């Protein structure tokens, strides 16, 4: 059986973890990594034996045509990359995580996927991603009710990036603390620029749209090393729903997950790589995908084992 040929575009935390997941998938092989020329030159990284290429053409010339590209690049660059890869005849899997813009992404990508006869899985990961599947399933089980998504405790990438952009902040890490009922507090550790007062930075963070609605605590640490010691990749979520099935109230559903964040995100992306080879040409989020499509091996085996 020929293996699924995968490339990894972008090589941060997610890209690196995706490679480790591909290595554990007996039905896949990685043809290589695509990173910007300047990154390859100026920011050498351990690539686990896989070759880096500055662009698709050079990868294709040496390694041949891939089946699927994992887009492990920042969300902002995802729409352009999806368009580009679909036009090249490559399925895509991305972890686009700007929730409000996901419907637009799907609307844009759908006609492209159909035109190029390829599959694009968008907004994969755990939230958006597997949490989305659980929220849908919970509603199918109890149509009347409310679901709360309680994130954390763990480092929020989005909030950390927002805090780093605040004037007077040299470096920052934002930790999400669940308060219950889908509400969260933010604990932000900052490395201050020279001569900047903590109270001024705290005011600016508090004024930022990312932080203005939640209880906030800001603490200063000496440097980026100290910052790296206040949070690792641990994260988690509790999804809770209390609702009714027909006339029966008090149906209680709860999902609790404690994980290495980039590892789980990358694993979901890699399971989606497999799904792209089993779906017809279209754009998908995870609520659009039959769960069996993610799994290695034969459908009937899975029905026997899991159903």
Contact 94, 121 (CB under 8 A): yes
Nearer of residues 196 and 263 to a second copy, judged by Cβ? 263
Which residues does residue 9 pair with via DSSP β-bridges, in sequence order? Answer: 34, 71
Q: Residue 137, interface with a second copy (CB under 8 A)?
A: yes
Q: How many angstroms separate the CA atoms of 77 and 80, rounded?
A: 6
Among 201, 268, 273, 276, binds a second copy (CB under 8 A): 268
At residue 244's C-alpha, the angle toward residues 238 and 250, to 5°, is 70
Q: Applying CB under 8 A, which of residues 103, 158, 181, 215 lies at the interface with a second copy?
A: 103
Residue from 231, 201, 227 nearest 216 by CA? 201
Nearer Cβ to a second copy (56/176):
176
CB-wise, 130 or 166, nearer to a second copy? 130
Angle at 279 between CA 120 and CA 129, to 5 degrees: 55
Consult the annotation and say whether 74 binds a ligand: no
Nearest-angstrom CA–CA distance, 153 and 175: 7
| Residue among 270, 257, 163, 278 nearest 214 (CA) | 163
Check whether 126 is labelled as a binding-site residue.
Answer: yes
Q: Which of residues 150-169 bind a second copy (CB under 8 A)?
A: none
Least Å distance, CB 202 to a second copy, is: 34
How far apart CA 190 and CA 202 sit, in angstroms, is 10
Where helices occur in 24-116 by DSSP H, the ranges are 37-42, 56-63, 78-88, 102-115
Nearest-approach distance from CB 305 to a second copy, in angstroms: 8
Q: Does 245 bind a second copy (CB under 8 A)?
A: yes
As beta bridge partners, residue 112 has none
The nearer residue to a second copy, 140 or 222, going by C-beta atoms, is 140
Rounded CA-CA distance 193/164 in Å is 11
Q: Which is nearer to a second copy, 81 or 121 (by Cβ)?
A: 121
The number of residues making up the chain comes to 307
Q: Answer yes or no whether residue 258 interacts with a second copy by CB under 8 A.
A: yes
CA distance 238 to 19: 28
Which of the residues 273 through 302 are near a second copy (CB under 8 A)? 285-292, 294-296, 299-300, 302
Among 47, 91, 142, 176, binds a second copy (CB under 8 A): 142
Binding residues vs a second copy (CB under 8 A): 17-18, 20-21, 23-25, 99, 102-103, 106-107, 123, 126, 128, 130, 132-137, 139-144, 245-248, 250-260, 263-264, 266-268, 270-271, 285-292, 294-296, 299-300, 302-304, 306-307
Residues at the annotated binding site for NADP(+)? Answer: 35-37, 95-97, 124-128
């Amino acid at each position: 059986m020929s293996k699924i040929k995968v490339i990894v575009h972008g090589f941060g935390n997610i890209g690196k973890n995706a490679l480790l997941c591909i290595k554990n998938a007996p039905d896949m092989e990685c043809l290589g990594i695509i990173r910007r020329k300047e990154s390859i030159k100026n920011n050498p990284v351990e690539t686990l034996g896989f070759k880096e290429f500055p662009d698709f053409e050079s990868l294709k010339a040496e390694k041949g045509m891939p089946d699927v590209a994992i887009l492990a690049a920042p969300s902002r660059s995802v729409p352009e990359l999806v368009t580009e890869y679909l036009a090249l005849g490559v399925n895509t899997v991305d972890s686009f995580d700007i929730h409000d813009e996901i419907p637009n992404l799907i609307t844009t990508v759908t006609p492209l996927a159909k035109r190029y006869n390829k599959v694009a899985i968008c907004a994969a990961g755990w939230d958006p991603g597997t949490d989305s599947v659980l929220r849908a399933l919970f509603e199918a089980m109890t149509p009347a009710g409310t679901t709360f998504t309680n994130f954390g405790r763990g480092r929020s990438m989005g909030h950390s990036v927002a805090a780093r952009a605040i004037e007077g902040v040299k470096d920052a890490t934002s930790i999400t603390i669940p308060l219950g009922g889908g509400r969260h507090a933010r604990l932000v550790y900052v490395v201050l620029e020279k001569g900047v007062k903590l109270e001024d930075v705290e005011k600016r963070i508090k004024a930022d749209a990312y932080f203005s609605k939640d209880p906030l605590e800001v603490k200063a640490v000496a440097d980026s090393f100290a910052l790296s010691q206040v949070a690792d990749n641990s994260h988690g979520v509790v999804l809770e729903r209390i609702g009714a099935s027909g006339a029966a109230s008090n149906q209680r559903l709860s999902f609790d997950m404690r994980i290495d964040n980039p590892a789980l995100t990358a694993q979901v992306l890699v399971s989606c790589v497999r799904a792209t080879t089993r779906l017809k040409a279209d754009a998908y989020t995870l609520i659009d995908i039959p769960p069996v499509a993610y799994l290695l091996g034969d459908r009937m085996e899975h029905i026997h084992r899991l159903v």
